[in-house]
Amino acid sequence: MSAANGSAGTQPARRVVVTGMGVVSPLGCEVDRFWRRLVAGESAVREITRFDHSDQRVHIAAEVPDFDPVEYVDKRTARRLDLFGQYAVAAAKMARDDAGVEPRAEAERTGALVGSGVGGLQTLHVEIEKLLNQGPERTNPLLIPMMIPNMGAAQVSLELGTKGPLSSTCTACAAGSDAIAQAFHVIRRGDADVMFAGGSEAPISAIGVAGFAAARSLSRRNDDPQAASRPFDAGRDGFVIGEGAGCLVLEELEHALRRDARIYAELAGVGFSSDSFHMTAPDETGRSQARAMRAALDMAGLRPGDIAYINAHGTATKTGDVAETKAVKIAFGGHARKVAISSNKSMIGHCLGASGAIEAVATVLTMVNSLAPPTINLTDPDPECDLDYIPLESRFMKVDAAASNSFGFGGHNVTLVFRRYDG
């Protein structure tokens, strides 16, 4: 018997379920609105409004529209948080309300684990400009706590009143999925009964866009923003930078049943691997990413054929999409051509450290609604990306088990596997 399922002399591993969700996304700041627009195939990519981009190579992004932090925190707190911290708190409070939990009631058994790839980039940019133009005496005394990536998790804990395990992940574009996976293990080993887990990112600043553009990571389809993010398409030319936050309430199964909670799905397995290949490029063979997928399947006790849907990392980079296609083929063997796959990034851009958390919400909703969102702009498939990527329109399909992939700069690979919970 595998360690994942318990062994002689040990208790079976505690099961982990999803009982609440919250999302701040370029398609909207409520789960229902996000989901409606996602399955409708709407693109959130527009011309950048946050700063003057006239001297930039890239003029487009997927910004969060109509976000008012005062809906989630008081004005004083809002001023003391970077935008990524505001997003993190907003998503966590939505998830709390959705789950119907009160963290303060069981504070020492409730924790928070929130990832971010770049942390408070907005604040850092503003304060560096202030330093250069006005001198060091004008530096905001809250610069450091507003900037450091762990502060998303810290602010969630402060706002919700959790006193259990508190941590953060900073694993680039895998940070949100990594946080969910680490929170899963916290509950399984008995260190908490409830965890607020996800990721948050607000990188759409002059320095953020310039940096990714200089690395030739971003699409330069400035004249056609809504068609710019083209995962698995032959015409793709890089990702579109996005922003937002996603949060899941993960709960130990028996704890959820005792309070008669609504259970969306079970988080059944997680898998990790590293490429050890390149600072930014993925392992081109797909073997490293495949190991994360197989590890998640093995932990869940599932076979490749049990997975009906994969929420792809699918960034729309030339090498990344081909590598992920190869990885799915390695991990799933003959089932690779039967599993349905799609990329949310075709609509919301690449939200970096928040991506995996937002996509985890979408993956759970795919199972709940028996409806898989599309990969929009996939009009001319790359011959090397020859799997079923649900082009252009959503697909009704029953999904009893699904996987979500996240791969980050530096070779961080995480796969989450969810399955339907039927009681």
What six digits make up the tokens of 391? 């082009």
Which of 29, 53, 247, 350 is catalytic? The answer is 350
Contact 94, 71 (CB under 8 A): no
Q: Alpha-carbon distance 144 to 10, whole Å?
A: 44
Instruction: Specify whether 173 is catalytic.
Output: yes
**d(Cα 48, Cα 303) in Å, to the nearest integer?**
44
Alpha helix (H) residue ranges in 100-142: 121-134
Residue 313 is among the residues annotated as catalytic for this protein? yes
53 flagged as catalytic: no
Encoded tokens for 205 = 């600043």
Which residue among the candidates 313, 351, 385, 412 is catalytic per the annotation? 313
Closest CA relative to residue 247, chosen from 14, 25, 15, 71 = 25
Residue type, 378: L
How far, in Å, CA of 208 to CA of 48, rounded? 12
Report d(CA 75, CA 253) in Å as an integer.
Answer: 37
DSSP assignment of 47-98 equals E--SS--TTSS--EEBPPPS--GGGTS-HHHHHTS-HHHHHHHHHHHHHHHH
* Of residues 56, 19, 62, the one with CA closest to residue 42: 62
Distance CA 297, CA 332 (A): 10
Could you tell me the two tokens for 197?
A: 């887990």
First to last CA, the chain: 24
CA angle, residues 113, 249, 229, in degrees to nearest 5: 80
Asked if 88 contacts 168 with a C-beta cutoff of 8 angstroms, the reply is no
Separation in Å, CA 402 to CA 103, 352, 359: 29, 21, 12
How far is 224 from 353, CA to CA, in rounded Å? 26
Q: Which of 29, 53, 170, 173 is catalytic?
A: 173
Q: Tokens for 414?
A: 């995480």
- H or E stretch covering 269: strand 265-274
Residue numbers annotated as active site: 173, 313, 350
